[in-house]
Amino acid sequence: MSDNNIFSKAPNIMHTEPAIECNFEEFKKVVESRRSVRNYTQESIPDEVVQECLRLGLLAPNSSNLQPWEFYWVRSEDKLKKLKAFCLNQPAARTAPTLIACVARPDLWKRGQRINQEYFANRHDTPKSVHAYYNKLVPFVYGNGPLHILAPFKTLAVVMLGLFKVIPRGPFGRSGNLLWATKTTALACENLMLAFRAAGYDSCPMEGFDEVRVKDLLDLPSEAAVTMIISAGKRSPQGVYSERIRGAQDMFIKKV
C-alpha cells in the first residue's frame, strides 16, 4: 500500500474485535437521565468510581489516536477550594465533592505520535502506510514550527493543492490545532459524564470559570486550554433547575 492511498484503503492489520451485545434500553436510560446537575448532596464519590469513570472517558474516539487531552482530578483541599472560587462559586462547583478540569493539549501531539510509533514498531504486520502516517503525515499536519511560523505556508500549499484534488484542510496553526484538540477533549468529556450517570452519580459541565487563574492553579502552559470543568456528585432534590428544554428535532436534524 502506497502512502497516497492511506485514507482510501484499510490497512491489512491482523486484529479482530467482534462487537459485543449491548442493552439499548439501558443506554437510553443513561443518556436520558443525564442532566446538568447544579446542586449536590454532601455524599462523596468513592475514589475507585472516579478512577473508573476517568478510564472510560479516555476510551473516547480521538483524531489520529493522538489523545491530546489531560484530566486534572483535583484532590488537594486547598486547590479544590480555590478551583471552586475560580468557577465563580456557582452552586454546581461549590456543592460538588469532585471537580475535574478537562484540558486540551494541542502542544502534546508528539506524545501521542510516540505512543502510536512505539505500539506499531512492535507489530510485524504493520503496513508501511501506517508507519508513513505517524512518521511523515502527522508531523506535517500538526507541527507548525517555532512560533507557528510554518502555518501560513502550509495553509497556502493546501489551498493550492485543493484546487486540483480532494484534500484535508487542516488543522493548521495555533487556532486550528486548538480547535482540533478541543473537539477531541469534548468527546472524552461526554464519555466521562455518561460514565458518572451509569455509576449512579451526576455531573455538570461548566464553562463559567476564570481560565487564567485555573491554568495558573494547575501549572498549565500557554498552549493548553481548559475545555470545561466537570463537577460530579450525588444529585440533591434541588439539583436540576428545570425540565429539559429542546427544540423540535427537525430544527437540528437535516436529511439531505
Report all structural domains of the chain as residue ranges with CATH numbers, in order of start: 38-108+144-240 (3.40.109.10)
Under DSSP, is residue 204 helix (H, G, I), strand (E, B) or coil?
A: strand
pLDDT greater at residue 2 or residue 193: 193
Contact present, 214 and 83 (Cβ < 8 Å): yes
Strand partners, 206: 229
pLDDT for res 32? 98
Kind plus residue range of the DSSP H or E element containing 99: strand 98-104
Under DSSP, is residue 230 helix (H, G, I), strand (E, B) or coil?
A: strand
pLDDT for res 152? 87
**Average pLDDT of the residues in 167-196:** 93
Secondary-structure breakdown of the chain: helix, strand, coil percentages, each rounded to the nearest 5: 50, 10, 40
- 21 Cα distance to chain centroid: 26
pLDDT for res 9? 72
Sorting pLDDT into bands at 50, 70 and 90, what band is 2? very low
Residue 242 has what DSSP assignment? S
**What are 153's three cell numbers?**
505556508
Question: Of the ranges 25-29, 139-143, 216-220, 248-252, which one carries the lowest mean pLDDT score?
Answer: 139-143
Find cell 493543492 and name the residue: 161
Mean pLDDT of the chain: 93
pLDDT for res 7? 66
Q: Rounded to whole angstroms, what are the CA distances from 9 to 4, 17, 117? A: 10, 19, 20
pLDDT for res 96? 98
**Average pLDDT of the residues in 74-81:** 98
Contact present, 93 and 87 (Cβ < 8 Å): yes
Sorting pLDDT into bands at 50, 70 and 90, what band is 74? very high
**Average pLDDT of the residues in 35-50:** 98
pLDDT for res 197? 98
**Average pLDDT of the residues in 189-213:** 98
Sorting pLDDT into bands at 50, 70 and 90, what band is 149? confident
Alpha helix (H) ranges present in 97-224? Answer: 109-121, 128-132, 138-142, 151-162, 173-198, 211-217
- Whether the predicted pLDDT of 22 surpasses 70: yes
Contact present, 82 and 218 (Cβ < 8 Å): no
pTM: 0.92
Find cell 506535517 and name the residue: 140
**Average pLDDT of the residues in 159-177:** 87
